[in-house]
Structure 1
Amino acid sequence: MAQNRDGGNPFAESSELDNPFQDPAVIQHRPSPQYATLDVYNPFETREQPAPAYEPAPAPAPAPAPLPPPSAAPLQSSRKLSPTEPKNYGSYSTQVSAAAATAELLKKQEELNRKAEELDRRERELQHVALGGTATRQNNWPPLPSFCPVQPCFFQDISMEIPQEFQKTVSTMYYLWMCSTAALLLNFLACLASFCVDTNNGSGFGLSLLWVLLFTPCSFVCWYRPMYKAFRSDSSFNFFVFFFIFFAQDVLFVLQAIGIPGWGFSGWISALVVLKINTAVAVLMLLVALLFTGIAVLGIVMLKRIHSLYRRTGASFQKAQQEFAAGVFSNQAVRTAAANAAAGAAGNAFRGP
């Protein structure tokens, strides 16, 4: 084996022919700027045209920095309404529908409240019936303290005993009775002041005291209680009693407002007479006369209103007669007296003259 030129080194390059990387076949396929690398080299494509020159891939563009969230203030400042530009509150149809829906809800709420009150009243009625009806109810009017020796004489509960459609009317009549009582008390004070400035008004002062003691309980028993019982049980007889007595009460209200001197009423005429004597007492009597006038007007209006309600209930005089007869014959004292009278008449007939 022949030795190499470099002193026995087998890997030393002796010549270009001895270097295997200098082979033309290898040099032909060596990468060059005119040809693409293996990343873009396709061996199956035709080699009619030289491969495109290698171009390095462009560097990716840096991601844009996130923008800060827009604040409300710049948006509001960027869009400002002009003084003449109207604000947009929604279409007209939307506003109308919203108002109609609100009105409908309010109407339903009022109806539910009325139904709740009616159910509450009926529940209390059932409770009283379960306890034995009117026999077990404890009287609550007049509202007297427990230490008072006189106990309440009547049971009154407008919200429980009176139907809902008549509660306002009954309450108004109750307030009318209270106002008439207060007017009689003020009338007594005015007549007392008039008697103090003029001793000739002694009769008026005495009658004013009598009217307070007489009219206060009698008006409650004679016309308010019949009206209360009439609406409570739809009683034609109580309606007729109320109409007859309350008509006389309205006439008395008118006389009180007129104020005839010497009758014990501080009406307009009495106040004008005392005006010549003492102005302060006359002013007090004029206030009482004004109160009497208002009570008289309200009494006439309520009489007409209750009469119209009575007509709509279908009541009649025949029904009142039937109720009266049934009430008389159902009374134990009346039946006992009638039986005793019949027995005495029969005994006298058998004994003969």
Structure 2
Amino acid sequence: MSKYTSFPEPGDDHNPFQDPAVTQHSSNTEYATLDLYNPFDNKNGPPPPAYAATAPSAPQPVVPATTPPSRTTPTEPRNYGTSFTPQTAVNATTAELLRKQEELEKKARELERRERELDSHALGPGATRQNNWPPLPSFCPVGPCFYQDINMEISQSFQRTVSIMYYYWMFTACTLAFNLISCLSLFCVDPSGGVGLGLAILWVLLFTPCSFVCWYRPVYKAFRSDSSFNFFAFFFIFFVQVIFYVIMTIGIPGWGFSGWIVSLAALKTSVPVGVIMMLNAILFTAQAAMGVVLLKRVHSLYRQTGASFVKAQAEFATGVMSNQAVRQAAANATASAAQGAFTGAAR
């Protein structure tokens, strides 16, 4: 049956490589094959005709390549005149991180303040807080006299003003201490100024605690509880204090203040001492000017709180009657008057 088909019988031993077409193509040397040519072997001579036909007859001249003009791709950022360097990106990232850090710290302080407010409300109206001012060491026999926490007790809209008043009190205390040094230096070159030195010691011992108790604590309590009585107490006492600051700035001789008059006179005795006293006079001038500004500032805030003289009278009457000592004295006076009246009627 194999004679009628091109497929051999299963039993026939047929070799496909013995096909006449294959053997005829293998015997033809005009066609290059991999078995006949090795391009890496120089000993075989020129390449076969099939490769020789396709090989170039002569080397082509080398044309210098010109650099094509740079063109921006859609993904490449275009330069519109601003130089954006990695250092600029780092600086921008650092600034952004610092800004976020400041915001987080501010929020943390606000949360801490609210937490302390909640703790203070949880104590109840009858609870007492431990005094923390002045901050004295534990071994000191005298403990703190007041409780002060501006961030917790003062409303956020008034915290800045109360803090400025506190720093102003510290500035006045330091100015009085420097005034003592100035008067001491004048006494060293002019022993006739002993009275001024003694008064300078008196002023620093008197004004430092009295100013804290008489005008700083009232303004602190006024903003803490919106107290009209404390506002009026502050205005009266602080106004008198500002008048004293003006007198300190003038520097009347023999009053213990290193003002302008005393400092200019001290220049004739000793130039270094006069310079020290003039610096003190400058501090007194700044102290008086800041006092006037702060008085006007507190007065403007007082007008916004809705306080009035009528409320101050009511608060004063309530405070006096709520005082245990005053009530005890009034009860004793009433009992004595009643007993006297009963004794007179019996006679």
* Same fold at TM > 0.5: yes
**Partner of residue 184, structure 2:** 192
**Residue 125 (structure 1) aligned with residue 130 (structure 2):** no
Matched, 1:145 2:119: no
Amino acid at match of 2:291: G
* Aligned equivalent of 2:327: 335
| Amino acid paired to 2:283 | L
Alpha-carbon separation, structure 2, partners of 1:134 and 1:159: 21
Check whether the contact 1:128–1:134 (CA below 8 A) recurs between aligned residues. Answer: no
Listed as ranges, the matches of 1:162-241 within 5 Å are 162-241=154-233
Query: After superposition, what is the alpha-carbon deviation per residue over 1:311-345, rounded to whole angstroms, capped at 9, x for unaligned?
Result: 11111000000001111111111111111111111
Identity %: 65
Any unmatched runs of 5+ in structure 2? Answer: 1-66, 73-77, 83-98
Distance 2:223 2:107 in 1: 20
Deviations 1:137-156 (A, max 9, x none): 11111111111111110011
Q: Distance in 2 between matches of 1:287 and 1:88?
A: 54
Deviations 1:202-236 (A, max 9, x none): 11011000001111100000000011000000000
RMSD: 2.7
Matched, 1:254 2:255: no
| 1:122 to partner: Cα distance | 3.0
TM-superposition CA deviations, 1:257-305 (whole Å, max 9, x none)? 1111110000111100000010000000011110111111111000001
Measured at CA, do residues 134 and 239 of structure 1 come closer, stay the same or move farther in structure 2, by a change above 3 Å?
farther
**Which of 242, 259, 264 is equivalent to 2:256?**
264
The aligned amino acid for 1:159 is N
Instruction: Kindly state the Cα deviation for residue 128 of structure 1 after the two structures are TM-superposed.
Output: 2.0
Q: 2 CA distance for matches of 1:133 and 1:155?
A: 15
Distance 2:132 2:266 in 1: 42
SS in 1 for 2:142: coil
Q: Secondary structure at the match of 2:334?
A: helix
Letter in 2 for 1:87: Y
Partner of 2:312: 320
Equivalent position to 2:80, from 77, 84, 87: 87
1:257, 1:268 within 8 Å by CA — same for their partners in 2? yes
1: CA distance, partners of 2:70 / 2:117: 69
Aligned to 1:302: 294
Structure with the greater alpha carbon radius of gyration: 1
1:130, distance to aligned residue in structure 2 (A): 1.8
Superposed CA offset, 1:68-124 (max 9, x none)? xxxxxx89x7259xxxx98266xxxxxxxxxxxxxxxx89x96x9777655532321
Which residue in 2 is equivalent to 1:273?
265
Q: Secondary structure at the match of 2:135?
A: coil
Unaligned runs of 5+ in 1: 1-73, 90-105
Q: Does the residue aligned with 1:139 lie in a helix, a strand or coil?
A: coil
Instruction: Give the secondary-structure state (helix, strand or coil) at the position aligned to 2:141.
Output: coil
What are the superposed Cα offsets for residues 243-270 of structure 1, whole Å, 9 maximum, x if unpaired? 0000000011111111111100001111
Instruction: Map Cα deviations across residues 153-202 of structure 1 (whole Å, 9 max, x no partner).
Output: 00111111100010110010101100000001100000000001001111
The separation in 1 between residues aligned to 2:188 and 2:168, in whole angstroms, is: 30
C-alpha distance in 1 between matches for 2:126 and 2:178: 37
* Number of residue pairs matched by the alignment: 260
Contact 1:118 1:164 in 2 (8 A): no
